[in-house]
Amino acid sequence: MKNLYKCLCILLGFLLIEKMARGQEENAARWGIPTQSSTYGGSIPELALDGLSSWTHTNTETNPWWRVDLLKVYRVNRVTITNRPTYNTRINGAEIRIGNFLDIYSNTICGVISSLGAGATATFSCHGMVGRYVVVDIPGNLKILSIVEAGVYGYLAGNRAVGGATLQSSTNASLIAEKAIDGNRGLQQLYTGCSSTLNETDPWWRLDLHDVYRVSNVIVTNRKDCCAELINGAEIRIGNSLDNNGNNNPICAVIPAIPAGESYNYSCDGLDGRYVNIHIPGDGKILLLCEVEVYGYLAENLAVPGAAFQSSTSMNGFAEKAIDRGLQQLYTGCSSTLNETDPWWKLDLRYIYRINKVVITNRKDCCAEQINGAEIHVETLWRTTNKRQ
């Protein structure tokens, strides 16, 4: 009997052959702006961010503090503080605070340093505390605060791009695709902090968000060193298809131009997609991106945690394969009934939902027409008339 493959791959993702590169966690303090309550003997607040063994130093005062403005809101995973090798008690009792307030005591305490060895570095886990300011302060009278080095590690809050997997059509030396999502817009001036393709026809860059997001906006940061106009005409595309490497997905925006070193914000009006592509159509183009940020919400696919059934099963075409986000379009990643009268596939969502949308992905190998005429029913109770065998 000839099998009739009815392939329903609902919102299937691809098994990615590409490297699942994690976003690099960066020391956000490095591009922040430090200040402190007072400065003694030229030991300015910047000395805590210079990567050297010099130290900051306040006057002897009440409640001395040091603060770094990260310029953006970060989700902070950890803070490191390095103590000086001499007079090493000038850190004792310091509180580390994170938050969005200029009033330092309104920010939340991540950790307290009771004491720290000479020249030692302490690491404090802040478990994703959110804030633009990181403050080190010592409460009390007649205190001095002195810090050799401070590090702040985390991600830009709310940016869905960080942690995604990136790929580009070609790579110029060390300007790998991941550099466009390193969470680091602050180093945009450095050409080395950007991704870049070679000079080619239709260069593209792609981000896999690992899940389907309703994308509200995408922010693209351009290079500052030169050649800002190379970005002109780049298209931002969002969707779930990898046809033409994802460059056929719907367009969110076409970038007319971005001035050197600037970050421009493009509204995508809630386009749904797992993939965000940036693509410059044409010959002799170079696609260089210093940062791509993606903001939006998870578009919940209720199918994934559901239970799938079908009227019959052809070989390994189990009903679950239509909700597994597996090998899209290879017929081995799809569900299939036998060749029969009135075949059906059903999904039990386990709860009653108000359904906004159902997405069906068809097989790619052949026989696309087999899906023709399929009806999608949404029902609260499964009618017995559908239970044909």
Give yes or no for residue 282 binding ligand NAG (CB under 6 A): no
Task: By CB under 6 A, name the one of 1, 17, 142, 173 that touches ligand NAG.
Answer: 173
Give yes or no for residue 312 binding ligand NAG (CB under 6 A): no
Give yes or no for residue 226 binding ligand NAG (CB under 6 A): no
Of the candidates 197, 208, 232, 81, which has an alpha carbon nearest to the alpha carbon of residue 145? 81
Tally of residues, the chain: 389
Give yes or no for residue 172 binding ligand NAG (CB under 6 A): yes
Number of residues near ligand NAG (by CB under 6 A):
13
* Residue 248, token pair as written in the block: 């056929």
Stretch of 3-11, 148-156, 279-287, 310-318 contacting ligand NAG, by CB under 6 A: 279-287
Site string for ligand NAG, 179-218 (x = CB under 6 A): -----------------x-xx-----------------x-
Give yes or no for residue 265 binding ligand NAG (CB under 6 A): yes
* Residue 307, token pair as written in the block: 């239970």
Site string for ligand NAG, 227-246 (x = CB under 6 A): ---x----------------
Nearer residue to ligand NAG within complex by CB, 68 or 215: 215
Shortest Cβ distance from residue 199 to ligand NAG (Å)? 4
Give yes or no for residue 39 binding ligand NAG (CB under 6 A): no
Q: Is 268 helix (H, G, I), strand (E, B) or coil?
A: strand
Contact 68, 133 (CB under 8 A): yes
Contact 291, 188 (CB under 8 A): yes
Stretch of 48-56, 84-92, 282-290, 302-310 contacting ligand NAG, by CB under 6 A: 282-290
Give yes or no for residue 29 binding ligand NAG (CB under 6 A): no
Q: Is 282 helix (H, G, I), strand (E, B) or coil?
A: coil
Of the candidates 102, 108, 83, 79, which has an alpha carbon nearest to the alpha carbon of residue 93? 83
* Residue 238, token pair as written in the block: 């969002």
Residues pairing with 137 in the sheet: 65, 95
Nearer residue to ligand NAG within complex by CB, 173 or 352: 173
Q: Which residue type, as a one-letter code, is found at position 310?
A: Q
* Residue 110, token pair as written in the block: 């991540």
Nearer residue to ligand NAG within complex by CB, 97 or 223: 223
Give yes or no for residue 330 binding ligand NAG (CB under 6 A): no
C-alpha to C-alpha distances, 204 to 136, 175, 231, 247, 248, nearest whole angstrom: 43, 14, 11, 8, 11
Give yes or no for residue 21 binding ligand NAG (CB under 6 A): no
C-alpha to C-alpha distances, 22 to 112, 215, 374, nearest whole angstrom: 31, 20, 40
The residue ranges that bind ligand NAG (CB under 6 A) are: 172-173, 196, 198-199, 217, 219, 230, 265, 267, 284-286
